[in-house]
Amino acid sequence: MSLNAEPARPPGGDYTLDAGLARTLAEIVGEKHVLSRQSQLLVYNSDGLPGYRRQPSLAVFPGTRDEVIEVVRALHAVGAPFVPRGAGTGLSGGALADGIVLLGLNRLKQIISIDVENRTATVEPGVVNLHLNRALGPKGLLYAPDPSSQAACTIGGNVAENAGGPHCLKYGVTLNHILAVTVVLPNGSVVTLGDEVGDHAGYDLVGAFVGSEGCFGVAIEITVRLTRAPEAVRTMLADFLTIDGGARATSAIVASGMVPAALEFLDGPTTRVVESSIYAAGYPTDAEAILLVELDGLVDGIDVDVERVKRICMDAGARNVRVARDDAERLKLWQGRKKAFGAMGRLAPHLVVQDAVIPRTKIPEILAAIHGISQKYGVLVCNIFHAGDGNLHPNIPYNADDAEQSERVHQAMREIMGVCIAAGGTITGEHGVGLDKIGYMEKIFTPNSLAAMCRLREVFDPERRINPGKVVPLHSCREWHATPAGRGE
Partner 1 sequence: MARHASRTRGVTALTLSEIGSRVAGAAESGRALRIAGRGSWLEAGAPVAAGETLSLAAYSGIVDYVPGDLTITVRAGTPLGEIAAATAEHGQWLPLDPPGSPDGSIGATVATGSYGPLASAFGRPRDQVLGLEAVTGTGEVITVGSRVVKNVAGFDLTRLLVGSWGTLGVITQITLRLRARSDVERTAAVAVPARGPKLAAALATVRNARLAPLALELLSPEVAEGVGLRGGTVLLARLGGNDESVNAQLAELASLGESITASDGCWERLRALDAEMTATLRFSTPLTDLPILWDALADVSVGDHLILRHATVMRGIVRCLVRTPAGAAPPAPDSLAAVARPLESARLIPERLGAMWSRLAPSSVNDPISRRVKEAFDPANVLNPGILGAAQ
Ligand X SMILES: Cc1cc2nc3c(=O)[nH]c(=O)nc-3n(C[C@H](O)[C@H](O)[C@H](O)COP(=O)(O)OP(=O)(O)OC[C@H]3O[C@@H](n4cnc5c(N)ncnc54)[C@H](O)[C@@H]3O)c2cc1C
- Note the residues at the interface with ligand X (CB under 6 A): 47-48, 83-91, 94-95, 105, 125, 147-149, 153-154, 156-158, 160-161, 163-165, 213-214, 218-219, 341, 430-431, 467
Q: How many C-beta atoms surround the C-beta of residue 408 within 10 A?
A: 16
**Does 372 help bind partner 1 (rule: CB under 8 A)?**
no
Residues 6+ apart with CB under 8 A from 99: 11, 12, 13, 14, 15, 54, 55, 56, 57
Cα gap 419→442, rounded to integer Å? 15
CB 193 within 8 A of CB 209: yes
State in angstroms the smallest separation of the CB of 465 from partner 1.
16
Kindly determine how many residues on this chain lie close enough to bind partner 1 according to the rule CB under 8 A. 97
Question: What residues numbered 158-177 form the site for partner 1, per CB under 8 A?
Answer: 161-162, 164, 168, 172-173, 175-176
**Does 182 help bind partner 1 (rule: CB under 8 A)?**
no
Site stretch for partner 1 (CB under 8 A), options 22-30, 130-138, 337-345, 382-390:
382-390
Question: What residues numbered 86-115 form the site for partner 1, per CB under 8 A?
Answer: 115
Q: SS3 for 334?
A: helix
Site stretch for partner 1 (CB under 8 A), options 201-209, 309-317, 321-329, 375-383:
201-209
State in angstroms the smallest separation of the CB of 376 from partner 1.
25
Partner that binds at residue 85, options partner 1, ligand X, none, CB closer than 5 to 8 Å by kind:
ligand X
Cα gap 1→438, rounded to integer Å? 10
**Does 489 help bind partner 1 (rule: CB under 8 A)?**
yes
Q: SS3 for 379?
A: coil
**Does 119 help bind partner 1 (rule: CB under 8 A)?**
yes
Beta bridge partners of 194: 180
* Cα maximum dimension of the chain: 69
**Does 305 help bind partner 1 (rule: CB under 8 A)?**
yes
Residue 111 or 451: which CB sits closer to partner 1? Answer: 451
Partner that binds at residue 390, options partner 1, ligand X, none, CB closer than 5 to 8 Å by kind:
partner 1
**Does 207 help bind partner 1 (rule: CB under 8 A)?**
yes
**Does 414 help bind partner 1 (rule: CB under 8 A)?**
no
- φ, ψ for residue 124, nearest 5 deg: -80, 160
**Does 190 help bind partner 1 (rule: CB under 8 A)?**
no
State in angstroms the smallest separation of the CB of 345 from ligand X.
8
Question: What residues numbered 238-267 form the site for partner 1, per CB under 8 A?
Answer: 251-252, 254-259
CB 237 within 8 A of CB 312: no
Residue 164 or 246: which CB sits closer to ligand X? Answer: 164
State in angstroms the smallest separation of the CB of 106 from ligand X.
8
Partner that binds at residue 403, options ligand X, partner 1, none, CB closer than 5 to 8 Å by kind:
none
State in angstroms the smallest separation of the CB of 90 from partner 1.
11
CA 153 to chain centre: 9
Cα gap 106→41, rounded to integer Å? 15
Residue 160 or 347: which CB sits closer to ligand X? Answer: 160
State in angstroms the smallest separation of the CB of 466 from ligand X.
8
Cα gap 37→51, rounded to integer Å? 23
Cα gap 46→147, rounded to integer Å? 19
Q: In what order do the strands lie in the sheet with 178-184?
A: 111-115, 120-123, 218-225, 178-184, 190-194
Cα gap 167→152, rounded to integer Å? 17
**Does 25 help bind partner 1 (rule: CB under 8 A)?**
no
Dihedral angle of Cα 337, 341, 344, 348, to the nearest 10 degrees: -170
Residue 253 or 352: which CB sits closer to ligand X? Answer: 352
Number of residues that this document lists for the chain: 489
Rg of the chain (C-alpha set): 23
Q: What are the strands, taking DSSP E only, across 338-393?
A: 350-353, 356-357, 382-386, 391-392
**Does 315 help bind partner 1 (rule: CB under 8 A)?**
no
Determine which residue in the list 65, 437, 464, 465 makes contact with partner 1, applying CB under 8 A: 437
Partner that binds at residue 200, options partner 1, ligand X, none, CB closer than 5 to 8 Å by kind:
partner 1
Residue 127 or 210: which CB sits closer to partner 1? Answer: 210
Partner that binds at residue 467, options partner 1, ligand X, none, CB closer than 5 to 8 Å by kind:
ligand X
Beta bridge partners of 128: 154
Residue 83 or 237: which CB sits closer to ligand X? Answer: 83
Cα gap 379→256, rounded to integer Å? 37
